[in-house]
Structure 1
Amino acid sequence: MDRYSELVAFLQSARSRSFSAAARNLDLTPSAVSKLVARLETRLGVRLFVRQGRTVALTEEGQRYLPSAEMVVEAMADAEAHGEALGEALHGRIRIHTMLTFARHQIVPWLPQFLQAHPGLSVEFHIAPQYEDAFDKGVDIAIHSGALPSSSRVARKIASSRWIVCAAPAYLARHGTPRTPDDLQQHTCVGFSFVSEWNVWPFRAMDGTTYGVRPASVVDTTQGEIARDLALGGFGIVRLAEFHIGEDLHAGRLVPVLESYQDPSKEPLYLVYPNRKHLSPRVKVFCDALTERMAAQPWAR
């Protein structure tokens, strides 16, 4: 009997509050997740969830059982990490959950050199614009920016990056340069199509107060890389992270606008990993390489 699968199904269902959502995260069917949880409940002799239509909620017994289940799953991951350390050479696959913009501009440039130095390693990217807890699906680390949801995971700040309002010189030559944030309403802007604080562009007023402007975007996208491509083509004005467009700014392909109103605050970049005592050697060597490169903040020349 695979008791570990029962625990993973229980934990994922507790976090997502849905057997269907848990099934998607685990690449199982909802009925399979329901059966795993039911089998666990039968073995324990208690109900762990209250079924409420399409959602589930932990019972009092389920809430008491949750910390123990988390400890067991983390201990299993810890044991695997120790097992990997028994071999002399680094080997295995590193599964990374991150944004397309960060993967393409801050990992891919040095990844071939890293893999050449560690021929026993391979990398698998799980790309999403926002953070999600995918560790129960086999992800080893996550790299994301901005506010993270409260959880038992370990989040370590590895860098920080400004957001820059900018456009291509060709666009500004055709349409003029906005002089105040309110002028953005008369310009073509590109935003994000998901609910995010990134859709409100913060600016600093002359008196030092900060206020937000939500431009009327002509195009919305889930991927910042599409917004960058549109901006580079002279389509409109964007607000993107400096780690994403730093090279474009330095080369003059994109030009900052409204600099006197620029919000000086920086958004943190986090390295997230499961709450365990020991990272596996294959993951640790990657995290060390990433941290070293992020400390230099190569985009902020």
Structure 2
Amino acid sequence: MLAFLWAHEHQSFSAAARANDLSPSAISKLVTRLENRLCVRLFQRGTRTLTLTEEGAVYLRSARAVMDAMAEADSLAEAFPATLSGTLRIHTMATFAKHQIIPWLPGFLADNPGLSVMIDVGAQYVDQFDQGLDIAIHSGVLPDSSRVARRIGETNWITCAAPSYLQYRGYPEKPEDLLQHDCYHFAFDSPWNTWGYEYQGETTTVPVRPRSTFTQGDLLRAIALNGGGIVRLADFHIGDDLKAGRLVPVLEDYRSRIAQPIYLVYPDRKNLSPRIKAFISAIEKRIVEHPWSL
């Protein structure tokens, strides 16, 4: 349609091509394709100029109306607010939200007063993008899907306890010693309950017998901080406790060096909402400036 309008404006394929950085044959082919689709001839081709046919004159009015409407639609983008607005919907693990999002979220919202954030938490990744979800943040292996998974970091799982517990019960020297200690893990079926270790290239899994189980990682952290026993938690969750000495890692010689990836998942790579782009930029900046790994 544009090629048709350009050809009419310049009265020749060659002039229209020069004005729009195309070849004359490209303009001619586009107009011919349009004529074939409409099953009418739009121009009488002369040796030097083009003349509209009667059908071409009718089509010209409609084509101009269409292009004016497109220009008006494009101009609406100029009216979009420069600041972020609306609601950003996020699903992630409760501990990740508490320890890796909440600390910087007030500042992010203060910089974007028109934006609100709704965070839904759950241990398992669930595809809820068809229900309006914007972003999911989860660790481990994600199911195959058409969604975009962007790796934003990685986490190690640390076996640890409070100094008071270790002073009272002693340090486990090898993974099998955990069977003689008070251990705690999650109350639901999860790979997080598999306490795996590695030594000199060999891996082993300890079938710990938990004294109690909990549905929230923060409850596991709390019982460990209170000297209740040994837990195994992600370093993005307990990194500050380890740095401050409130929790002490054990069996470090046996810890697997294979880190678990953390993914930020969103529905499509193209035409991302400004809200999603701003959040991705903010969380990646936060992770660089405040790494949780020891």
Q: What secondary structure sits across from 2:98 in the alignment?
A: helix
Q: Residue type of the partner of 2:245? A: G
8 Å Cα contact 1:84/1:281 also seen in 2: no
Partner secondary structure for residue 164 of structure 1: strand
Residue 229 of structure 1 is aligned with which of 219, 222, 231?
Answer: 222
Matched with 1:212 is 205
* Residue in structure 2 matching 1:111, options 105, 123, 128: 105
| Equivalence map 1:128-139=2 (5 Å) | 128-139=122-133
Contact 1:224/1:240 (<8 A) preserved: yes
Q: Identify which of 271, 280, 294 aligns with 1:278.
A: 271
Does the alignment pair 1:194 with 2:188?
yes
Structure with larger Rg: 2
Structure 1 residues 80-100: Cα deviation after superposition (integer angstroms, max 9, x where no partner): xx9899322210111110011
2:259 is the counterpart of 1:266 = yes
Which structure 2 residues correspond to residues 1-301 of structure 1 after superposition, within 5 A?
A: 86-205=80-199, 207-296=200-289, 298-301=291-294
Where structure 2 has 5 or more consecutive residues not aligned to the other structure, the ranges are 1-75
- 1:93-138 Cα shifts (integer Å, max 9, x gaps): 1111001100000011111111111111111111001111111222
TM value normalised by structure 1: 0.70
Cα distance, 1:83–1:135 mapped onto 2, change above 3 Å: farther
**TM-score normalised to structure 2 length:** 0.71
Give, in whole Å, the separation in 2 of the partners of 1:222 and 1:85. 47
Kindly tell me: are residues 102 and 202 of structure 1, through their superposed partners in 2, closer, same or farther at Cα, counting changes over 3 Å? same
Given residue 101 of structure 1, which amino acid in structure 2 is its aligned partner?
T
Q: Which amino acid aligns with 1:155?
A: A
Q: SS of the residue aligned with 1:298?
A: coil
Give the Cα separation in 1 of the matches to 2:124 and 2:106.
25
Asked whether the 8 Å contact 1:158–1:295 carries over to 2, the reply is: no
Computed over aligned residues only, the root mean square deviation of the Cα atoms, in angstroms, reads: 1.7
Structure 1 residues not aligned, in runs of 5+: 1-81
Asked whether the equivalents of residues 156 and 293 of structure 2 are also in contact (C-alpha less than 8 Å), the reply is no
Q: Is the 8 A contact 1:95 1:140 kept in 2?
A: yes
Identity %: 55
Matched AA of 1:210: T
Conserved? CA contact 2:153–2:261, under 8 Å? yes
Aligned to 2:46: none
Q: CA–CA distance in 1 between the matches of 2:256 and 2:117?
A: 36
Q: Distance in 1 between matches of 2:176 and 2:246?
A: 24
Go from structure 1 to structure 2 and tell me whether the alpha carbon gap of 1:84 and 1:245 turns closer, same or farther (over 3 Å shift): farther
Cα distance in 2 for partners of 1:220, 1:182 equals: 20
Distance 1:281 1:190, change over 3 A: same
Matched length: 219
Residue 276 (structure 1) shift: 4.7
Q: Distance in 1 between matches of 2:193 and 2:277?
A: 34
